Structure 1
Amino acid sequence: MGTNAAPDRPYRVVQWATGTIGARALRQVIGHPRMQLAGLWVHSPDKVGRDASELCGVETDEVGGLADTTGVAATNRLDDILELDADCVLYMPQACDADEVCRLLASGLNVVTTRSEFHRPASMDPDLRRRVEDACAEGGTSIHSTGSSPGFITEAVPLVLASVQRRLDMMTIDEFADLSRRDSPELLFEVMGFGRAPAEFAEVRTEHARSPFGQSLALVADGLGLPLDKIDVTGEFATASRTVEIAAGRLEAGTVAAQRITVTGTRDGEPLLRFRATWYCTTELDRLWDVRPTGWRVVVDGDAPLDIDMTFPVPMERMAAVSPAYTANRAVNAVPAVCGAAPGIRTTLDLPGITALLA
């Protein structure tokens, strides 16, 4: 239930949805030393009634000798969740339902979500913001959006790096994703448009990045006392310089092989904060892009300059199995801070630094 005091018992947590990220979060809650799985909501009717451990692949030796089953059966009824004496919901559906979120909050359930609608209240739709804040006030609860990107790399890391600056001229956050071993033909070729001739390629999908990453950059700027004047989003692509075979299929020379989205926050007519995502299926491109292994690079131009690389030291064949942890784990680790926060939409600036409780 909504409270500002830390409980003298494990945090009772509900997992909402069991997609790629949700299933990973569910596994971490089951094995967490200071959390107890209180409930599980699922979207698919064929998952209803199944034990939580079955839906996230938990094995006995992975969770410190826990029983093969958790005793928590999945439901697709919101009312079942509202009846639980829980502290927090890890809300991770494919689409955000404002009515669901408000009912959870108003009932006394705090919410940590990997949905991106709640990173910065001032950037939210005014009606949604009012509804959510009213629900938080009614339930004495808080809600927080987080994850790896946006979240960790666009908020937590920039704020830490800025803590050694007294003048910030520019900060650029680069995200790289090597998709060459991603065996998802529909995602890469149909949804993202890789492998198409330039004349057939509609455009890099830029608008879906404006809200989440724009909110994060604006939030960081607010925290630094340097509010942004505007946020611009641009997209570009590069083609393969030769035909290559990737896990999803053949990529012909001259077809789209890399895409880049750049979100830039401007102040006083000059760029101040920039997030740039580069997704690629091969490094052999027709353009001289800085294409690096999967991970992040942050460059800070200020009176204490920094240039930091963070790569994922994981074989490409295991990346799909490991990468969900970067998003799911931060959300799980945020539960205590969100449960202890004052009611309302709580941002990275409002919460203390997220600390992982590992024992």
Structure 2
Amino acid sequence: MTADLRVVQWATGNIGRKALRGALEHPTLSLAGVLVYHPDKIGTDAGDLCGVAPVGIRAVSDPADVVALDADCVLYMPRTLNADDVCRILENGTNVVTTCGEFRHPAAMDPALRQAVEAACQIGGSSIHSTGSSPGLISEAVPLVLTTAQRRLDRLVIDEYGDLSQRDSPEMLFDLMGFGRAMAPFEKFRADFLCASFGPSLQALAEALNLPLDNVTAHGELAATPTEVHIAAGTLEAHSVAAQRITVTGWRGGRELIEFRATWYCTRRLEPAWKVDDTGWRVTVQGDAPLDVTIRMPIPLDQMAETTPGYTANRAVNLVEAVCAARPGILSVVDLACPVARLHSPAHAESGDRPTPGAGTP
């Protein structure tokens, strides 16, 4: 594609703001509009919303205004999916790249949602793709690359580690995630939640490898701190929950084939003793060409909250061209092959060769 693609940023939370800035700086994308939910953001210039110079495009709140733009693609990033809005966008002929995970594996979707979305895609000749970092990059794209070195796969394990000791988010850590509570049996609904998020991603990966899964299960574990611990979000009393590990397992032929393990912790001193790694991922491939790959996030812990949205948002922006060029319908990661990102560098910015925000200049 050589012509600029007109995109709309739908929602401007932490990830949406990063995606908006990415779209403005992208060499072959041109911003057509922005949709916001918070009343205070309505009418605000898109540049002001994401920390760059004003670009002359003001945020709106009515989905009808977005549909009327007839853009090439909507970067759809609300907190929760509104199926009616998505179908309306697709019926209008506008493609969708979203961080909502409902579309990762069509066969695992709610049948009514799948039928409605596929019908909308056919009417508009449009496509939709769910992406992100985890699930997404680490549970689909990276394993697909690593397994190209295999002819036999015995087992694939994806470990995610998150050090939350410097995350100053008391509501998230204590109220939502349950750190600091008295030790008790792991709440099943929390494991089920992660299974619903990662299960379709692992199923899509397995089917792409010609090894479809028989079923997907999930379970969780907790570990405590032996002593009182002070973290950025507050204090963990001795013997309270200080770490949790949720494992999502894809089974084939009665054995574990693909596994995703999330280990989130507030201290490394735990009881029982767990081996924890720095924030990032480790992918272990057991096959006829074994691999053990570690991916670190070389970011100070107190800067994680402001930096990590880019891992999700940037991937979505970088996939716009591939989704617009693809066949109509619900697209998995396999349908997009391996798109190549079009990037800019600090050197270009310093020399004045960086794209003008919003202009989409090649």
Same fold, TM-score > 0.5, yes or no: yes
2:42 pairs with 1:16? no
Match of 1:119 among 77, 97, 104: 104
Whether contact under 8 Å (1:155, 1:220) holds in the other structure is: yes
Alignment: residue pair count: 344
Match of 2:218 in 1: 233
Whether contact under 8 Å (1:264, 1:273) holds in the other structure is: yes
Match of 1:105 in 2: 90
Match of 1:62 in 2: none
Is there any run of 5+ residues in structure 1 with no aligned partner, and where? 1-5, 59-67
Match of 2:160 among 175, 182, 187: 175
Rounded Cα–Cα distance in structure 2 between residues aligned with 1:286 and 1:217: 30
Match of 1:189 among 174, 177, 187: 174
Match of 2:291 in 1: 306
Deviation at 1:200, TM superposition (A): 9.1
2:199 pairs with 1:219? no
Match of 1:337 in 2: 322
With the length of structure 2 as denominator, give the TM-score of the two structures: 0.93
Give SS of 2:103's match: coil
Match of 2:332 among 330, 344, 347: 347
Partner amino acid for 1:264?
T
Rounded Cα–Cα distance in structure 2 between residues aligned with 1:293 and 1:210: 23
Rounded Cα–Cα distance in structure 1 between residues aligned with 2:273 and 2:151: 34
Rounded Cα–Cα distance in structure 2 between residues aligned with 1:184 and 1:200: 24
Distance 1:203 1:267, change over 3 A: closer
Rounded Cα–Cα distance in structure 2 between residues aligned with 1:203 and 1:53: 43
Whether contact under 8 Å (2:70, 2:93) holds in the other structure is: no
Whether contact under 8 Å (2:188, 2:219) holds in the other structure is: no
Partner amino acid for 1:328?
A
Deviation at 1:300, TM superposition (A): 0.7
Whether contact under 8 Å (1:204, 1:261) holds in the other structure is: no
Match of 2:30 in 1: 36
Partner amino acid for 1:25?
A
2:124 pairs with 1:139? yes
Partner amino acid for 2:268?
T
Deviation at 1:354, TM superposition (A): 2.3
Give SS of 1:349's match: helix
Whether contact under 8 Å (1:245, 1:251) holds in the other structure is: yes
Deviation at 1:9, TM superposition (A): 2.3
Match of 1:65 in 2: none
Whether contact under 8 Å (2:186, 2:221) holds in the other structure is: no
Match of 2:258 in 1: 273
Distance 1:150 1:200, change over 3 A: closer
Output aligned runs, 1:61-76, within 5 Å: 68-76=53-61
Match of 1:51 in 2: 45
Distance 1:202 1:133, change over 3 A: closer
Deviation at 1:309, TM superposition (A): 0.6
Give SS of 1:236's match: strand
Give SS of 2:97's match: strand
Rounded Cα–Cα distance in structure 2 between residues aligned with 1:292 and 1:71: 45
Whether contact under 8 Å (2:4, 2:29) holds in the other structure is: yes
Whether contact under 8 Å (1:105, 1:136) holds in the other structure is: yes
Deviation at 1:201, TM superposition (A): 7.3
Give SS of 1:72's match: coil
Rounded Cα–Cα distance in structure 1 between residues aligned with 2:121 and 2:154: 37
Deviation at 1:352, TM superposition (A): 2.2
Regions of 4+ moved over 2 Å = 199-204
Rounded Cα–Cα distance in structure 1 between residues aligned with 2:142 and 2:185: 38
Whether contact under 8 Å (1:204, 1:236) holds in the other structure is: no
Whether contact under 8 Å (2:100, 2:130) holds in the other structure is: yes
Deviation at 1:202, TM superposition (A): 4.8
Q: Deviations over 1:83-140 (max 9, x none)?
A: 1131100000000000010000001110000110000100001110010000000011
Match of 1:89 among 71, 74, 79: 74
Match of 1:250 in 2: 235
Whether contact under 8 Å (2:216, 2:251) holds in the other structure is: yes
Among all aligned residue pairs of Structure 1 and Structure 2, give the percentage whose two residues are the same amino acid.
57
Partner amino acid for 2:30?
Q
Q: Deviations over 1:31-85 (max 9, x none)?
A: 1111111110011122111111111122xxxxxxxxx211111111011001113
